[in-house]
């Protein structure tokens, strides 16, 4: 029998048969009225070519599609840059509790005390983990958090008569959202190079400082999987010229419970809750990107903030210097709830195990594979390791894209490739803390086999994948001329 995951699933339109029904409605028990008497004629279509199918056909179609889906629940997902860790199902159960899931946003504060207490506690927990003084849970995603962080920096400078500061420094190894967020906030961006160790080039940074600098956005650990060990000096330099320092917290999975950006000198940071704690990820949302700040930025936080009074918890809207409202009601409440439960489960002491195991797993992969693929910076890495397929490209014509496609033949989701941009033929792998030694060994064996295939039979790698419903695509053509709308075949005359 052929594996159904390897077959092409025909569209509902393609298996449709005229006259076939999935459901039969009961006889109408009210007076029948014509369509024209209910809907304006201009809005009535002459035809409606919907597929006609039985219920089993519909169920089997969507069941087959669900079996083709790859997720962290079905297999190892070694994506780099965007952490794909397992989400405990007990958190999902809690998020689906009617008391939380059906909470109406217009209920008065007096009737939502439980939800407000969760938000209040979470504000304080995030503040402590970040080493900051206050937190807003309002941003809907990490990039939204970046935008808010820069809005806070801008409000601070303008409030202190420093409106001429119009430039944000962004290292060249930054996430792509960093310069986009700065530009969206009206800032110019200035790129600082990486040095030979993969960290911020301090000499270059010093040469760019001026009274035009509003701040610096820095990811720590950076996107090369390395800890910025000059972070104290970097923060001193930016503060010395009057700027503020923003931490892109996308890589906090390597530090949570172990180190706090606020203690390093950062003034503001965002979390991606799905990356550091627990919440579904992928498909465009929902997300949540809380922003934590030092006291100097607290007056500008968005509304509302949850505060505790003698009469209970309330949503505070009266914040005189606020940047305003950036999200409706409670923010992404159910995402926040899942992460809240994740943190409570681990507790303050065990939360550091998350970072320890994420770093341990990444370094295990690094040491096991470094003789087969070159490591971009061969030293102790944090939660992700960056390999380069440049040698394989030069000697055998096999690129990072080919390696990623070949991994699909072994049943793995491809890792991030060609990022960060400063590493040629980059393969970015982030195992997270949730994978076992056996899972990592199986993945390592697959990568070693691919490395051997590249030498002995490079064509089998360059032509991969071989065991997926869709083989290798012309990626440029697929990106520029996507065909995502089905059209009926021409009728034979």
Residue 267: per-residue pLDDT: 98
Closest Cα partner for 427 from 365, 354, 357, 476? Answer: 365
Domain end, chosen from 346, 361, 390, is at 346
The arithmetic mean of pLDDT across residues 55-76, rounded, is 91
Does the residue 298 lie in any domain? yes
User: Does one domain contain both 381 and 295?
Assistant: no
Domain end, chosen from 300, 330, 346, is at 346
Does the residue 208 lie in any domain? yes
Confidence of residue 82 (pLDDT cuts 50, 70, 90): confident
pLDDT tens-digit series, residues 220-245: 999 999 999 999 999 999 999 999 99
- Domain encompassing residue 52: 11-22+48-68
Confidence of residue 283 (pLDDT cuts 50, 70, 90): low
Residue 369: CB partners within 8 Å, gap ≥ 6?
387, 444, 447, 448
The CATH number that applies at residue 339 is: 3.40.640.10
Contact of 340 with 332, CB cutoff 8 Å: no
Confidence of residue 161 (pLDDT cuts 50, 70, 90): very high
pLDDT tens-digit series, residues 176-204: 899 999 999 999 999 999 999 999 999 99
| Alpha-helical runs (H) found in 43-88 | 55-68
User: Does one domain contain both 342 and 360?
Assistant: no
User: Does one domain contain both 210 and 153?
Assistant: yes
Helix (H, G, I), strand (E, B) or coil at 246: strand
State how far the Cα of 290 lies from the Cα of 120, in Å rounded to an integer: 13
User: Does one domain contain both 136 and 194?
Assistant: yes
Helix (H, G, I), strand (E, B) or coil at 10: coil
User: Does one domain contain both 212 and 305?
Assistant: yes
User: Does one domain contain both 277 and 356?
Assistant: no
Does the residue 5 lie in any domain? no
Q: Average pLDDT of the chain?
A: 94
User: Does one domain contain both 180 and 201?
Assistant: yes
Does the residue 376 lie in any domain? yes
User: Does one domain contain both 399 and 320?
Assistant: no
The arithmetic mean of pLDDT across residues 294-309, rounded, is 97
pLDDT tens-digit series, residues 244-260: 999 999 999 999 999 99
Residues in the chain: 493
User: Does one domain contain both 325 and 360?
Assistant: no
Does the residue 488 lie in any domain? no
Residue 121: per-residue pLDDT: 98
Confidence of residue 469 (pLDDT cuts 50, 70, 90): confident
The arithmetic mean of pLDDT across residues 32-38, rounded, is 91
Instruction: Give 481's DSSP letter.
Output: S
Q: Are strands 385-388 and 374-375 parallel, antiparallel or unpaired?
A: antiparallel
User: Does one domain contain both 324 and 428?
Assistant: no
The CATH number that applies at residue 473 is: 3.90.1150.10
Contact of 168 with 218, CB cutoff 8 Å: no
Residue 380: CB partners within 8 Å, gap ≥ 6?
363
Does the residue 1 lie in any domain? no
User: Does one domain contain both 395 and 283?
Assistant: no
Confidence of residue 1 (pLDDT cuts 50, 70, 90): very low
**DSSP-derived secondary structure for 347-405:** HHHHHHHHHHHHHHHHHHHHHHHTTTSEESS-S--SS-EEEE-HHHHHHH---HHHHHH
User: Does one domain contain both 340 and 370?
Assistant: no
The domain tally of the chain equals 3
How is the beta sheet containing 244-249 ordered, strand by strand? 134-136, 291-293, 268-271, 244-249, 213-219, 167-171, 188-192
């Amino acid at each position: 029998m052929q594996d159904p995951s390897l077959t092409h699933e025909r569209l509902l339109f393609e298996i449709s048969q005229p006259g076939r029904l999935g459901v039969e409605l009961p006889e109408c028990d009210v007076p029948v009225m014509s369509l024209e008497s209910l809907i304006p004629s201009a809005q009535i279509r002459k035809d409606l070519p919907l597929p006609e199918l039985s219920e089993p056909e519909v169920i089997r179609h969507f069941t087959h599609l669900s079996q083709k889906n790859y997720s962290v629940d079905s297999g190892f997902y070694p994506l780099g840059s965007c952490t794909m860790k397992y989400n405990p199902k007990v958190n999902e159960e809690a998020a689906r509790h009617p008391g939380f899931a059906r909470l109406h946003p217009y209920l008065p504060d007096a009737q939502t005390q439980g939800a407000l207490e969760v938000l209040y506690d979470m504000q304080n927990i995030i503040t402590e983990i970040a080493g900051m003084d206050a937190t807003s849970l309002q941003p809907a995603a990490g990039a939204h958090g970046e935008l808010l962080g820069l809005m806070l920096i801008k409000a601070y400078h303008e409030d202190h008569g420093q409106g001429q500061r119009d430039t944000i420094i962004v290292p060249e190894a930054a996430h792509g959202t960093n310069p986009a967020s700065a530009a969206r906030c009206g800032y110019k961006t200035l790129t600082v190079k990486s040095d030979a160790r993969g960290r911020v080039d301090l000499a270059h940074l010093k040469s760019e400082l001026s009274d035009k600098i509003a701040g610096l956005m820095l990811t720590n650990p950076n996107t090369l999987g390395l800890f910025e060990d000059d972070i104290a000096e970097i923060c001193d330099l930016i503060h010395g010229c009057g700027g503020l320092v923003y931490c892109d917290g996308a890589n906090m999975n390597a530090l949570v419970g172990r180190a706090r950006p606020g203690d390093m000198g950062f003034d503001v940071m965002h979390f991606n809750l799905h990356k550091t704690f627990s919440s579904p990820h992928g498909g465009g949302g929902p997300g949540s990107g809380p922003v934590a700040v030092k006291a100097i930025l607290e007056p500008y936080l968005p509304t509302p903030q949850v505060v505790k009074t003698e009469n209970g918890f309330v949503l505070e809207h009266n914040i005189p210097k606020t940047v305003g409202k950036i999200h409706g009601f409670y923010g992404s409440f159910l995402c926040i709830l899942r992460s809240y439960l994740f943190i409570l489960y681990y507790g303050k002491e065990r939360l550091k195990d998350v970072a320890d195991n994420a770093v341990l797993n990444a370094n295990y992969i690094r040491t096991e594979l470094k003789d087969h693929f070159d490591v971009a910076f061969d030293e102790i890495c944090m939660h992700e390791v960056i390999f380069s397929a440049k040698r394989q490209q030069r000697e055998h014509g096999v690129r990072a894209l080919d390696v990623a496609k070949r991994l699909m033949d072994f049943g793995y989701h491809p890792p991030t490739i060609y990022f960060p941009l400063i590493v040629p033929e980059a393969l970015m792998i982030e195992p997270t803390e949730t994978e076992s030694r056996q899972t990592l060994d199986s993945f390592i064996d697959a990568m070693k086999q691919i490395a051997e295939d590249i030498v002995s039979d490079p064509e089998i790698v360059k032509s991969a994948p071989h065991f997926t419903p869709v083989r290798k695509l012309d990626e440029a053509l697929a990106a520029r001329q996507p065909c995502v709308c089905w059209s009926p075949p021409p009728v034979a005359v």
